[in-house]
Amino acid sequence: MTAQSFGDSLKNKFGDKLLEVEAAGVDQLYVRIVPECLVEVADYLYNDEGCRFVINSGTDRREHNGKFLITHFFAQDEENLYIAVHAEVDGNDPRIDSITPVVPAANWSEREARDMVGVAPEGHPDPRRLVLADDWPEDLYPLRTDVEHGIKPESCPDVAMPLVEPPEGASVVPIGPYFPVLEEPAYFRIFVEGETVVGADYRGFYNHRGVEKLGCSVLTYNQIPFMAERICGICGFVHSCSYCQAVERAAGIEVPERAEYVRTIMLEVERVQSHLLWLGIAGHIIGFDTVLMQTWRMREPLMWLCERITGNRKTYGMNLIGGVRRDITADVHGDITDVLAKIEKEWRALYDAIPGDPTLMARLKGTGELPEEKARELAVAGPTARGSGVAIDVRVDHPYAAYDRLDVKKCVYDSCDNVARVLVRLDETLDAIDIIRQALDDMPDGPIMAEIGEEIPAGLEAMSAVEAPRGEVFHWVLTGEENRPERWRVRAPTYANLQAVPTMVTGDALADVPIDVGSFDPCFSCTERMEVTDLKSGIIRVYTQDEVLALRQSK
């Protein structure tokens, strides 16, 4: 089914409730609806048509038409189709009905739109803060256009997010914000009865870096790829690639075929190094440091290879609008194949050893269970989804770069536990090595950068997705004035996968929680703030970055 035919079916279904339907090629559909029918349309897409919820976005367009724009993004993976559902909200009364009761995966993103843009999701089952700091002032919404980038408001400690009460008779075990094996800040409140987990609550976003605000107020189109790569410290190339593809699609820029192959090779190199890193950390979490030492030793030659190709071990700085800055020339092909051959040989030894190790299987088998129906309901991504039998992979379902010219396998397991997520990554690493070899063999000659003769006009939009090692990365760009987007929306795969933590840990032993969380390879941003609780009074004090720095210097 093409975007046009799917749009026609929606018009037949909803009639005048659809104000505008526009197909962009065969695989992207943009629908503008009457806001009062948003829940009805979302329910139909999600529950009747089997579309997967991706993310939503709030955009302040009051300077243009006095309204806020709320956009919900869906994917119809079987039809290679992305759907954007736009609804405009009165700028003086920014409210819209919540779709979370019918689309549970929309929970976080609706709360984020309320935090960042100030559009309240009416009827949301959990309307607590999500992104904003506990001391951020009420009625100050960072992504509104009248709020300057870099604002530092006065602390308002009386607006802290309320905590979820544990089940009756359960105790609370806090994990984080600093916890040795998770490396990055995240705060889980684990509810336990004895040693058994009976629920969980999560508080993250300790250092929201304002990346989207930067992209819409400070940076230009070709500066953003370098910022996008810093969204994730391990898998940044996926973000710069997805962003560039969104702008290229919106502006109708044709990327040279050779540049598409270069992007594909670097994306798969990034997948291999990321899975090597993850397996080592997973071993470390369960006390199997031999795996950590081996995989990180194996990974090192690949990192040096990345530096030879791009100039950097990580954060490659390769992508620009229209192509790539550096070529992968013939003289380096031999080095790539040699390094991959060595990694493949050692990886196969691990591949054979891990499933047969009784201690590993005792820790992994039957723990961190995420049933397929729950994985679909929460719209988890990547190996987390494929380990629960959900056969989605953007490289196959929505091909980009050179993937439509290469043989890519979906690596899927259905035991729905930690073992399945390990096996998915073991398979994917070998498949990624094979994809790189195919791309090197098939790479065409030609330029690596398109010529862009005109400025990108405002008012254009496009969606783009890339299959990161952790799952689907999604970017949406609405072009604007002053050589920058009006709105740039980003979703990383951990955003979706973290919402499955309460399901994954419930029923497990408390000792299994770190590997349950680690099994989907979470990526949290670094923190620059912390809470200190006075144990006698129970008063919580939130320290600012400046206060923490002053304390450090004084001590």
User: Would you list the DSSP string of 282-341?
Assistant: HHHHTT-HHHHHHHHHHHHHHHHHHHHHHSSSSS---EETTEESS---HHHHHHHHHHHH
Tell whether the model's pLDDT for residue 547 goes beyond 80: no
449: helix, strand or coil: strand
d(CA 35, CA 407): 42
At 529 the pLDDT is 29
Q: Among 180-184, 279-283, 533-537, which range has the highest average pLDDT?
A: 279-283
- Higher per-residue confidence, 180 vs 112: 112
Contacts of 263 (CB under 8 A, 6+ apart): 241, 318, 319, 324, 401, 402
From 67-71, 332-336, 337-341, 524-528, the region with the lowest mean pLDDT: 524-528
CA atoms within 13 A on the CB side of 472: 29
At 233 the pLDDT is 78
Contacts of 12 (CB under 8 A, 6+ apart): none
Beta strands in 430-504 (DSSP E): 461-468, 471-479, 485-491
Closest CA to 501 of 361, 384, 419: 384
Percent of the chain with pLDDT over 90: 75
Instruction: Give tens-digit pLDDT for 12-51.
Output: 999 999 999 999 999 999 999 999 999 999 999 999 999 9
- Higher per-residue confidence, 472 vs 358: 472
Q: Is the pTM of this model over 0.85?
A: yes
Q: How confident is the model at residue 542 (pLDDT cuts 50, 70, 90)?
A: low
At 353 the pLDDT is 87
Closest CA to 259 of 43, 391, 127, 449: 449
Hey, what CATH class is 3-147 in? alpha beta
Pairing of strands 485-491, 530-533: unpaired
CATH code linked to domain 211-518: 1.10.645.10
Tell whether the model's pLDDT for residue 531 goes beyond 70: no
Q: Phi/psi at 248 (nearest 5 deg)? A: -60, -40
d(CA 271, CA 273): 6
Q: List the domain boundaries for the chain.
A: 3-147, 211-518, 530-555
Q: Are 144 and 117 in contact (CB under 8 A)?
A: yes
Looking at the DSSP bridge assignments, the partners of residue 477 are 462, 488
Average pLDDT over residues 274-295: 90
Tell whether the model's pLDDT for residue 537 goes beyond 60: no
Q: 274 vs 236, 308, 426, 517, CA distance in Å? A: 11, 18, 12, 17
Average pLDDT over residues 118-144: 92
At 269 the pLDDT is 97
Tell whether the model's pLDDT for residue 499 goes beyond 60: yes
From 112-126, 146-160, 376-390, 394-408, the region with the lowest mean pLDDT: 146-160
Q: Tokens standing for 423?
A: 């096996």
At 555 the pLDDT is 46
Q: Tokens standing for 159?
A: 């607006």
At 204 the pLDDT is 83
Tell whether the model's pLDDT for residue 532 goes beyond 90: no
Mean pLDDT for the chain? 91
- Higher per-residue confidence, 175 vs 325: 325
At 235 the pLDDT is 86
Closest CA to 433 of 265, 307, 289: 265
